[in-house]
Chain A
Amino acid sequence: DGGITQSPKYLFRKEGQNVTLSCEQNLNHDAMYWYRQDPGQGLRLIYYSQIVNDFQKGDIAEGYSVSREKKESFPLTVTSAQKNPTAFYLCASSIEDSLNSPLHFGNGTRLTVT
């Protein structure tokens, strides 16, 4: 079955440490996205990538970094510069970055930083 795999489901880190969240898709989608979700809020875009070796900042990119070396993979690094990293992180992909192409989401990684 095709889909998006995010791992791990729960992640705990100490403040000041960088942490990388994994996102893999086997849907053969060109576009991939990272969203952050906080309680009572909608999803906010961190980074997105339309093709391999290319990515753009979203609305809240500060303190995060990404890479897109392979079509299937779009890992997100939460750096120590991110002021409030505890959140639910969702990775998504779409066939293309067009107006009506629906997003397919992974099951998310819940990151807790103490």
Chain B
Amino acid sequence: GQSLEQPSEVTAVEGAIVQINCTYQTSGFYGLSWYQQHDGGAPTFLSYNALDGLEETGRFSSFLSRSDSYGYLLLQELQMKDSASYFCAVRDLAGANNLFFGTGTRLTVIP
């Protein structure tokens, strides 16, 4: 089986930096993905880490440590439009070929 843990809510100030953590347990690990979802909308892909280290894409970065079964999403220069839910996800090929999602972190950016 697999499990993912994320904080349920995070609040940060516009212009600041915020880190959203994700710890996982899977019987087989094939990379950690991050998705963003605005209220009532479609999740959109942000990043994928298969190897340890930091991947940077503009204001967003994602980090993975396979030895610690841990990753995080780092959002810099926060904007009001970054208010959304953020999901980490892993594939576990021990079961169905399934992208297994965490319960999500609701980020609120305040002025």
Q: Do these two chains really belong together in a complex?
A: yes
Residues of A near any B CB (own CB < 8 A): 4, 33, 35, 40-45, 48, 56-59, 90, 97, 99-100, 102-108, 110
Given contacts A43-B87, A56-B96, A59-B96, contact A90 B42 (CB under 8 A): yes
Q: How large is the interface on B (under 10, 10 to 19, 20 to 34, 35 or more residues)?
A: 20 to 34
Given contacts A107-B42, A108-B40, contact A97 B97 (CB under 8 A): yes
Provide the residues of chain B in CB contact with A103, threshold 8 Å: 35, 43, 45, 99
Q: Name the interface residues of B64-111: CB closer than 8 Å to any CB of A.
A: 87, 89, 91, 95-104
**B4/A42 in contact, CB under 8 A:** yes
**A102/B45 in contact, CB under 8 A:** yes
Query: How many CB-defined contacts (below 8 Å) exist between A and B?
Result: 63
In the complex, the chain A residue whose C-beta lies closest to that of B101 is: A42
Provide the residues of chain B in CB contact with A110, threshold 8 Å: 40
In the complex, the chain B residue whose C-beta lies closest to that of A56 is: B96
Q: Could you jot down 8 A-B contacts, CB within 8 Å?
A: A33-B99, A42-B102, A43-B87, A43-B101, A45-B98, A90-B43, A99-B50, A100-B50
Provide the residues of chain B in CB contact with A4, threshold 8 Å: 42
- Least distance between A5 CB and chain B CB atoms (Å): 11
Residues of B near any A CB (own CB < 8 A): 4, 8, 30-31, 33, 35, 40-45, 48, 50, 87, 89, 91, 95-104
Given contacts A100-B50, A102-B45, contact A42 B96 (CB under 8 A): no
**B96/A57 in contact, CB under 8 A:** yes
Given contacts A100-B31, A108-B40, contact A59 B50 (CB under 8 A): no
Report the Cα distance A97→B44, complex, angstroms. Answer: 17
Provide the residues of chain A in CB contact with B104, threshold 8 Å: 41-42
**B44/A105 in contact, CB under 8 A:** yes
Report the Cα distance A104→B44, complex, angstroms. Answer: 7
Give the one of A35, A102, A108 with max B CB within 10 A.
Answer: A102
In the complex, the chain B residue whose C-beta lies closest to that of A31 is: B97
Provide the residues of chain A in CB contact with B33, threshold 8 Å: 100, 102
Give the top 9 A-B pairs by smallest Cβ distance, nearest first: A42-B101, A102-B45, A105-B42, A43-B101, A99-B30, A42-B103, A45-B98, A107-B42, A105-B43
